[in-house]
Structure 1
């Protein structure tokens, strides 16, 4: 672990942290800013949680939209990616006989949300298996054409899938969805602060995600973006005081009593992230991810994606001949934190993510433990 960057975070000494992609990691700078913000709110909560809160959230939303290249009039904070998904899925028109397509590599709670919505109105949900490793866009389109015989109403798609860390071919799949007469809904939980987001260019109808996975914000901070015709239609899943506000930011600014500090300090996290970016630290994280992929492949782990479809700073691997429980135990004993879990078909998946505090020794330690665990 890089000592120079270690002091930016509150990580336990000696811990090899390669799993910030699960929950994010707040920096000390943002935690300090949050403490100041909380003291300010507690000095007069009637004012600071009342009349001035929406204006504060609006200014932070504007800064976030600017950083991400989004139209601020179609962008808002929300609680987290799950709440953003619930708002979209619960507000979109869906009728008996409609078809919703999801990939089995999608986050499980999002698949369940669509399944619930489809069951409620007798719509069809098609869950399409993603082959691992995924080698090309053409392979994915072939699978879609085989699994989906007719028209599509909506397709749910992650820009970068969670457990398998696939950087999916958005433009090609978006074209496929349009050809089938459908609309594309994007999950970008693993995009802001990791890769550029371009929902207009991708042809998306709606996009939900988080900031706290790849930016050093407090958790949670959700993000919601909508195409023009959906701005007035999408409502929060919880019916609160501002549920029917004509203003998008105000509509999502009060989900009942909540802690607004993660949203109010998001711009502090963006400022720090931009400093890291300008100093070349994030580019170094991408180099480390490439190194980690090489090391794990050498010891027998199989990448879930071709180089073309690999995410810049998050990589996943199929581990054959071992169980999820075995790998979790090995890594926990070594104080190495990486995500380990079942793949869509029950495979044992290992996923790591690199951050500015990681160095070559961290990836070597991970690969060494996996080499010892895999059957020879």
Structure 2
């Protein structure tokens, strides 16, 4: 583990952390700023949680928009990706003639939310099986064509899928749903701070995600971007629900802790330092090293090279179960995401960050080799 783990983070000594992509990790700098802000808010909550808060959140939203390279007028910060998704799904006008298409590699709660919404409206819900390992865009589009006849109202995809860690060809998917007369909704939970977030290039009507996975901010803090003609309201009807201003509309979901959102600019500033110094490029190289090492001991990639994100990789482990892998890694104090894919296959996902080094990769690889050779 690199010295950055001691300087920048509060990770316990002896722990090998490859599960950054599940919850992110708040840096010491941001945690300190968060404590300062909490003391400030508590000094006069009547003022600091009133109209002043909306102005401060608008400034943070502008900082996030600038960092992501997207129009902050069309985006807002929110509690997390789940709350943003709930707002989108609750706002779309579904009816018995509607068709919603969701890929089976999507995050389980997002799939379930669309399924529930369709059931309430009597709409058609289509879950499309994605070929994994994903070898080509053509194979993905062929799966859609083969499983989805006729018009489509909404297609839900991820910029980077969660458990399978596939960097989806989002622009091609946007073009596909446009040809079917529908709108593209993008889950970009693994976008900010990891890959470019490109709503207009993707052809998206709505993009939601989180900041706390790849920026070192406090958790939770999410974002929502919308096209100008797409009217989305928070799932909870709060005091600002009717506001014409997008930031204000999502600024008060009832009493909540605004500190994670107010720390966004501090987290982005530190992330930019890591980027400028080349640390994030080093993380990408380490992910490539892990790719080869794990493949050498029998792990299979979930996607061809072109669909692998820079710092998040997933592997199929044949002949073993998720509990077996979890037991081995847990005993070795190695943290990585392990679970089942859509077809029941055992998946191992790892994220490389600035606190990881090749020794960490060796520790993980040795344990995976151990469990695969049983």
- For Structure 1 versus Structure 2, the TM-score category normalised by the shorter chain is over 0.9
Partner residue in 1 for 2:113: 113
Q: Deviations over 1:276-334 (max 9, x none)?
A: 00000000000000000100000000000000111110000000111100000000000
In structure 2, the gaps of 5 or more residues are: none
| Structure 1 position 217, deviation (Å) | 0.4
Please tell me whether residue 80 in structure 1 is matched to residue 80 in structure 2: yes
What secondary structure does 1:285 align onto? helix
| Structure 1 position 7, deviation (Å) | 1.8
What secondary structure does 2:314 align onto? strand
On the 8 A contact 1:164/1:304 being kept in 2, the answer is yes
| Structure 1 position 83, deviation (Å) | 0.3
TM-score after normalising by structure 2: 0.99
What secondary structure does 1:135 align onto? coil
On the 8 A contact 2:4/2:354 being kept in 1, the answer is no
What secondary structure does 1:274 align onto? helix
What secondary structure does 1:322 align onto? coil
Task: Choose which of 334, 358, 366 in structure 2 pairs with 1:360.
Answer: 358
| Structure 1 position 157, deviation (Å) | 0.4
On the 8 A contact 1:321/1:375 being kept in 2, the answer is no
Please tell me whether residue 340 in structure 1 is matched to residue 323 in structure 2: no
Q: Deviations over 1:238-263 (max 9, x none)?
A: 00000111110000000000000000
What secondary structure does 1:228 align onto? coil
Partner residue in 1 for 2:313: 315
Detail structure 1 runs of 4+ shifted over 4 Å in the superposition: none
Distance, in Å, in 2 between the alignment partners of 1:63 and 1:38 is 20
On the 8 A contact 2:37/2:259 being kept in 1, the answer is yes
Tell me the C-alpha RMSD between the 2 structures: 0.7
Please tell me whether residue 271 in structure 1 is matched to residue 254 in structure 2: no
Task: Choose which of 237, 242, 245 in structure 1 pairs with 2:243.
Answer: 245
Partner residue in 2 for 1:18: 18
What secondary structure does 1:369 align onto? helix
Task: Choose which of 291, 302, 305 in structure 2 pairs with 1:304.
Answer: 302
Partner residue in 2 for 1:170: 170
On the 8 A contact 2:99/2:124 being kept in 1, the answer is yes
What secondary structure does 1:229 align onto? coil
Partner residue in 2 for 1:371: 369
| Structure 1 position 16, deviation (Å) | 0.3
Distance, in Å, in 2 between the alignment partners of 1:271 and 1:186 is 26
